[in-house]
Amino acid sequence: MSSEHSTSINHPCSRSRDRLSWLRCTLRRSQQEAVASSTMTATSDNFFNAYAIFLGASLGQMGWVTGLPQLFGALAQLLSVWLASHFSRRQFIVVCAGLQAGVVLGMGALAAFRPDNAVWLFIGLAVLYQGFINLIQPHWRAWMGMIVPQRRRGAFFASRTRLTMMASLSVFFVGGGILTLTDSIQMAWLGFSLLFSIAAMGRFVSAWLLLQMHDPEPRAAKASGVFNQTLYNFRQAWKDKTFRHYSLFVAGMQCMVAISAPFFAVYMLEDLQFTYFEFVLSSVASIFTQFMTLRF
């Protein structure tokens, strides 16, 4: 069986022979995938710290909850560069997305079973979660950059971002309502289990939609020394003054944010005695502002 025929069977968006048809199908699937994956990312971006507090995390553990996953996530991006030449890009993304959904499902199970070392198990799962996100991102960006026509990139990604924000806002309100309701009857564990189960289902749907999309160049040519070449390219770029100053600016800003970020949830939920719904509203304010100002 030829590779082209195999592709048409495995990739529904490839069944149409003309380029315009499979392109439209793939872009439509990508927009749908943005909504599905947002149910997971909205949960992780806004409820991880609240969940860690529910599990009984100390202040020190709150720092680990935020810092350790991001560290391993950054390292995973470097690993992803090496993996790019060893696997089919689309299949690699789908497998990572499926495994990530399993990780999120495991987070929900922690709320139901509450083992003695639940906080450390959650930190380990958060490390895997961030690792899978950062393994996927470089491949996904290269994939989208290849298939989205340059003249449509601005409109396409702006539209995709709006869909993501709308889905995220919906998840915020639904999640906050679920947690507030279950907490009022002393069953917050059920609320978190439901929330993470919904997030996992969203990611499973996201993986299925990614499987439907067409990749015109599914496998990058194998090359030796990819990792070393990446480090060499970075050293060369670092010699550029603008790149160096911008990188230091972003790193410094992120560093200052990271110092305080893990403890905002602690302050709001424990010191200010916010309900989960009030906690969600404080997060929604920034997302809503971004949504309103995006087109400007």
SS3 labels along 161-229: HHHHHHHHHHHHHHHHHHHHHHHHCCCHHHHHHHHHHHHHHHHHHHHHHHHHCCCCCCCCCCCCCHHHH
What is residue 1's predicted lDDT score, i.e. its pLDDT? Answer: 40
What is residue 3's predicted lDDT score, i.e. its pLDDT? Answer: 42
What is residue 162's predicted lDDT score, i.e. its pLDDT? Answer: 82
Low-confidence residues in the chain, pLDDT < 70: 1-12, 14-20, 84-85, 217-227
Q: How far apart are CA 119 and CA 79, in angstroms?
A: 27
pLDDT in tens, 256-267: 888 887 788 889
Residue 192 has, within 13 A of its CA and on its CB side, a CA count of 28
CATH code for position 211? 1.20.1250.20
Q: For the chain, what percent of residues have pLDDT higher than 70?
A: 89
What is residue 131's predicted lDDT score, i.e. its pLDDT? Answer: 92
pLDDT in tens, 135-180: 998 888 888 888 888 778 777 888 888 888 888 888 888 888 899 8
Q: How far apart are CA 94 and CA 101, in angstroms?
A: 11
What is residue 101's predicted lDDT score, i.e. its pLDDT? Answer: 94
Per the structure, the complete domain to which residue 131 belongs is given by: 3-293
- The pTM score is 0.80
Report the domain count for the chain. Answer: 1
What is residue 223's predicted lDDT score, i.e. its pLDDT? Answer: 57
Token readout for 147 is 């298939």
What is residue 4's predicted lDDT score, i.e. its pLDDT? Answer: 43
pLDDT in tens, 212-230: 888 876 665 555 666 677 7
